[in-house]
Structure formats: C-alpha cells, structure tokens
Amino acid sequence: MSEALQKAITLLSLIGLGLLLRSKFKHKEQTNGIKEMVLSVALPATIFIALMKIDVDAKLIVVPALTLVFNFFMYFAAPLAFPFFGIEKDTPMGRTLVMLLPSLAPGLSCFPFIAEFLGQESVAMAALGDVGNKFFVLIFLYVVAMNMFLKNTKTEETRMGDKIKSLLLNLVQEPINIIIISAAILLSFGVSFKTLPLIVQDVFDKTSAMMTPLVLIFIGVAVQLKQRKKRLIASLLIFRAGLTMLFSAGMIALLNITDPTMVLLATVIPLSSASFWPFAHISAFNSREDAQEIPKERRTFSVELAVLVMAFSLPFSTMLILGILSTGTFFAHTGTIAITGVILLALGLLPTLFGRKMVRLSKA
C-alpha cells in the first residue's frame, strides 16, 4: 500500500473515530469544547506557523496569484449555479456555501498525494500556491463573513456604528486575529519562524499538531448524517469539481503549460477539499448570534451545513485526487481535463434537475 493511500485512510479513520464517539458527546457543550480547542489553540498555532514560514520568491509570485484567481473565480461563479439547485444566496444555506465552496484545504486532501506521485519539488510548488489561498480564506473571507453578519443582524434599535464598534472590539480579542496581527508585526521586523526561540517553536509545533486530528474527530462527532441535504451537498461538490476542472483546463491552455507534472499540479490543487478556516469564521459569528439568542432560521450561517460540507468534501476530494494522480499522465492533457469537467458538471446538475422535474410531474 502506498504512503499516500495510507495517509488518506488515516484521515478518513479519524472521521470514523468521531462517528464512533458520538454517543459520548450527548450535549452540545461537549461538542463545543472540541471546537473551542480547535479555534482557540490548534488553529491559531497552525495559522501562526504558516504565516511565519511564508517566503515568497518574487519570480514565483505568479503561483500564489493563480491560486488566488481560482479562489475569486469560484467565489463569483459558484453562486450563479445556486438557482439550479434551488438555493437562495441570501439565506443561511446560501451564505454558508458562498464561504466554503471557493476555499481549499490542500494540506489535508492534496499534499500527501502530490508528495507520493509527483515528488517533493512539486509539494514545494503546491505549498507556494497555497499562500494565495491562505490570504483568501484568512483575510478576504473573514471580511465577507463580517459584512454578511452585519447585514443580517442589522436592526432599527441598534445603530450601525455601534454594531461595528462592538464587533471590532470582539475581533481584537479573538485568538486567531491576535495571532495574525502578531505574525504580521514580527514579519515586518524581519523575524521568521526559524529565528524564534526553540521553546517557542516547540510550543507552536506541538499545539499545531493537534489541528488535523481534532478537526477530523470534530467533523465525525458533529456531522448530522440524518440531514436531508446529503444528496444536495453531494451534487454541489460534484458540480464544484467539474467547474474546477474546466477552470484548470482553461488556465493550462491560456498559459500554454506543457510539462505533465505542472499540468497535473494545476489540475489537482484546485480540487482540494473545502477549508476548515471559513468554518472558523462561521463559528465565530454564530457564537455572537448565540449570545443574542437569534433563532436558527434567522442566523447568518448554518453551522450544521458547514460541518456536513466538510464531512463530504474531504473524502470526495481525496478519492478524486488519488484517482487522477494514480492514472499516470492520462490527465496531463487539456482535452481530457475539459471533458472530465463537463462530465462532472452534468453529474452534479442532472440529478437535481431530474428530481425537480419529477416533483412537477407528480404535482401535475
């Protein structure tokens, strides 16, 4: 068994462990305890390390720039398809999907397979591309979530200026934001992760190591598999993969990329699963709405839906990326990538359209 396949099985096993432990977490407070450990300890440590290790070569700035272009492409293009799935954009479900669908988590679902099939140099290139994605999920999506929250919770009794002031005060107090500000200050003074004292490095390394196991176990514990939205989420993820492959085919043709390794990299990196970081933003604003006792149907986001998307996205992306890379150079051709993209788009859209047609016929 290859090392990449072993890692994939390990990741999925951690989700399975969470499913087995569901009976031990009978109260919402217990599940929130895991989430709080992730959001307040493991995730800030991971973000700090990632930011402090960023070292972008000016000649290679195009790599993270292209990833960022993909993020924005998905951010604007994916919601255009929502009406086909019966989803309204300005609803908790629509806003949650707007946050999650454009995000990428290559570290979990992509890097192990790139290392196994394409080598360490390709991993370094993929990590460089992830710099653009980190900017998108950490900064841009946070601003988007804040704007959505302000718009959704706006009331006549509360002035917008007071609401923004209260929100900004809370933002400064959150561990993730403190970490980002601290990293930016240190980087501005020329301090990198390697120049920090070894004790500090060790503390961050060990707390960051909790990130992946805790996130995957939390997904298994928190996911509501009885939700009726499972089929819809599956169709959306297949559609997302098809749209992604069409984007990759277009960029490969536009930039005239001919090296098979680079073609495969440009194909599999955007197919990474949805990131946990937008979920962190969603959870932060959901906590504020908890304090305000806002009913679920009036919330800005749907936390349950976000967990369901992540639970389906990780195994789906893992299998798709593994399947592409295990075929050698079969997918190292623009035509193959484009045709596969069209097939996935059809597989994502047809069940939903067929279902809606059957409903109309039954009513008739």
Distance CA 276, CA 281 (A): 9
**What are 98's two structure tokens?**
């707007």
Structure token digits, residue 249? 């085919």
Q: How far apart are CA 246 and CA 53, in angstroms?
A: 32
For residue 156, pLDDT over 50 is answered with: no
Torsion from C-alpha of 163, 164, 170, 171, nearest 10 degrees? 150
Give the confidence band of 359 by pLDDT, cuts at 50, 70, 90.
very low
pLDDT for res 174: 66
Check residues 49 and 198 and name the one with the higher pLDDT: 198
Planar angle of CA 235, 227, 364, nearest 5 degrees: 65
Q: Tell me the pLDDT tens digit for each residue of 263-284.
A: 999 999 999 999 888 988 898 8
Alpha helices in the chain (DSSP H): 3-20, 28-37, 43-52, 62-77, 92-100, 106-109, 111-117, 120-135, 141-152, 160-173, 175-188, 198-208, 211-222, 230-254, 260-268, 277-291, 303-325, 334-363
Helix (H) or strand (E) holding 138: none
- pLDDT band per the 50, 70, 90 thresholds, residue 357: low
Q: What is the DSSP letter of 38?
A: I
What are 325-337's pLDDT values in tens digits? 888 888 889 999 9
Full set of structural domains in the chain with CATH: 3-355 (1.20.1530.20)
Asked if residue 166 lies in contact with residue 288, where contact means CB atoms within 8 angstroms, the answer is: no
CA distance 330 to 260: 9
pLDDT of residue 23: 80
